[in-house]
Amino acid sequence: MKYKIIVVDVFNTLLNGKCELTEENRNALIAIQRDLGIRVVLTSGRATAALKPLAEELSLSEYSGYLIPYHGGQVVNCRSGKTIASHRMASSLVDQLEARALAEGVTLLSFCKDSIYATAPADPLAIQEAEICCQPLVPKRPTSADVIKCSFVGTTEKIAEMEVVMRRDYGDRLNIFRSSETLLECLPVEVQKIQAISDLLDKLDFSRDELISVGDSYCDVEMIQLAGLGVAVANAREAVKACADYITTSNEESGVAHLIEKHILNEYEEVPFSVEDVNSIVPGTLMDSLGIRCTKIASGYVEATMPVDIRTRQPMGILHGGASLALAETLAGFGSVALCKPGEIQVGLQVSGNHVSSALEGDILRGEATIMHQGRSTHVWSINIYSTKSGKLICTCRVLNTILKQR
């Protein structure tokens, strides 16, 4: 499988204009996690609290997804619930921004883990932002508060003026940009979505070519350009669309689901039989005994799952290496059968593997087989086997099949 992780901006990209998750987007994102093991990452300028209900609806804790709130100010592991990266603003700098807000007649919002401190808590724009972020609005900031980001809210004209002034006075100390006409964001200079995503790719040992990024606004441009497949929704600004590799349908038309259908689920050419056809011949075989089930089959690509349980584990409760090789040979066998011409059969000739990590009882393995060489008489397959719990690579294999004329 080409792509292993998808980073999706939330507001005006994943959610429609009513801030609703469509059924099509929900089903598509759950399917690629459950069936393909693709990691889903939600990113936004909003607070972590604003993203958690959506993370629950998409089962990110079950499938080891991540949240990147505050424009990259934090990274949250949904499975463990732990914040694995976080930045904070110097209290003295926040003091200066509060003074600037009072002098300019705008409101400064200081975002902390559990609350938002406002210089003018009765400001309707401040109240609206707090409601969107699902955090209480508090009037006075204690000096001990750990501020993750600050935002100026005000009229369109005033925020446009503030952007020029703030870039002039604080451009070397803060990352400053407008996320909407009435909202000017101020973050530590090192905080950027692209940096948080790059650090997460390194942590997961994924390459940028295995990344899909989807967004709509100027602050999404860098992550779109970083990805192997950078995508803009049709409602994105024209400058953002110009930077994308692909333009999907709008957020009102379930653009994320459309992207997934086109570039992930239909990445390979179809074969003359279905997953159901493959699984129908499994009962009573070794594959049945090991609990192997095919989940995707296409021209040159196969996926299957296998549980780590009493059938496939060692006495110590960890995966038996021989079961991994059986899964690998099964995947390659299914794949070669799909490529064979009428009158041809495939026979396994050689299987070799390297056991990279262990998997514990209760895990489910996901194997991916990709054709490396398709000759007239031989097929060479590369198989990677992953834990669906941790996402770690468990085993990597190479299988050689010979193609014979049926007698």
Domain end point (choices 242, 265, 288): 265
Span of 83-92, 269-278, 372-381 with lowest mean pLDDT: 269-278
Confidence of residue 85 (pLDDT cuts 50, 70, 90): very high
Does the annotation mark 329 as catalytic? yes
- Tokens 């990597």 belong to 396
Greater confidence (141 vs 77) lies with 77
CA distances from 44 to 64, 137, 147, 231 (A): 18, 20, 17, 16
- DSSP letters, 108-155, are EEEE-SS-EEESSTT-HHHHHHHHHHT--EES---TT----EEEEE--
In tens, the pLDDT along 240-283 reads: 999 999 999 999 999 999 999 888 887 677 788 899 999 999 99
Range of the domain at 357: 275-405
In tens, the pLDDT along 41-51 reads: 999 998 898 99
Number of domains in the chain: 3
DSSP 279: H
Mean pLDDT of 121-143: 87
What's the CATH number where 298 sits? 3.10.129.10
Are 234 and 334 within one domain? no
Are 177 and 211 within one domain? no
Does the CA dihedral 84-48-265-323 come out positive or negative? positive
What's the CATH number where 125 sits? 3.30.1240.10
The pTM score is: 0.71
Are 319 and 401 within one domain? yes
- Residue 323 carries which side chain, given as an amino acid letter? A
Confidence of residue 26 (pLDDT cuts 50, 70, 90): very high
In tens, the pLDDT along 189-201 reads: 999 999 999 999 9
Are 244 and 98 within one domain? no
- Residue 329 carries which side chain, given as an amino acid letter? E
Residue among 329, 344, 361, 368 flagged as catalytic: 329
Of 64, 80, 75, 100, nearest to 197 (Cα)? 75
Domain end point (choices 212, 244, 265): 265
Are 242 and 352 within one domain? no
pLDDT, mean over the chain: 93
Are 287 and 378 within one domain? yes
Residue 316 has pLDDT above 90, yes or no: yes
pLDDT at res. 132:
83
Are 304 and 341 within one domain? yes
Mean pLDDT of 218-232: 95
Confidence of residue 1 (pLDDT cuts 50, 70, 90): low
Percent of the chain with pLDDT over 70: 99
In tens, the pLDDT along 154-186 reads: 999 999 999 999 999 999 999 998 888 899 999
